[in-house]
Amino acid sequence: MDETTYVFDADGMVLGRLASAAADLLIKAAREHRDDKVVIVNAEKAIVTGSKTAVFNNYQEKYKLNHARKGPFFPRMPDMILKRSIRGMLPYQSKSSGRRALRNLRVEIGCPSHLSGDLPDGHQQGDVSKIRKAASASFVSLGEISHNLGAPSHRWTGGDQ
């Protein structure tokens, strides 16, 4: 079995486009019984298009549905919001290929040192030609959304916020 690890840098990419491309790669590989993996770095720099107030209100509504013990559980951290978006595009509850695809996904805050320069053997940059479009005039980064939801933003800004 020949496995490849695709590395995507989420810096400036639209959340939905990135999520659908990653989900597509993962589910196709899982259905062909390959263990291709997807690693997304800099999750806090992915963007959600729309006015700041509308985006913040939308994510606040989703988060307020949360009950501490009963769910539905909606994440606050940017890496988990991105992973949850991709999970929503996979048949992880009904098909073993969806569960396998979800296991092969990793989302990181920042960029790990081994992925920052030249990529190791078996790793390659993900194809972003269909994902990267001209940015909208109004957008919000996932880091800002997470900070608005009350997540500890010092983890990705490095400061004491």
Q: What is the pLDDT of residue 1?
A: 54
Q: What is the mean pLDDT of residues 86-104?
A: 93
Is the pLDDT at 141 greater than 80? The verdict is yes
Is the pLDDT at 92 greater than 70? The verdict is yes
Q: What is the pLDDT of residue 121?
A: 82
| CATH number of the domain where residue 106 is located | 3.90.1180.10
Is the pLDDT at 161 greater than 60? The verdict is no
Expressed as residue numbers, the domain containing 101 is 5-157
Average pLDDT score, the chain: 89
Q: What is the pLDDT of residue 132?
A: 79
Is the pLDDT at 62 greater than 80? The verdict is yes
Is the pLDDT at 42 greater than 80? The verdict is yes
147 or 161: which leads in pLDDT = 147
Give the pLDDT band of residue 114 (cuts 50, 70, 90): confident
- End-to-end alpha-carbon separation of the chain, Å? 46
Q: What is the pLDDT of residue 156?
A: 83
Is the pLDDT at 97 greater than 60? The verdict is yes
Q: What is the mean pLDDT of residues 89-97?
A: 92
Number of domains in the chain: 1
Give the pLDDT band of residue 160 (cuts 50, 70, 90): low
Q: What is the mean pLDDT of residues 83-103?
A: 93
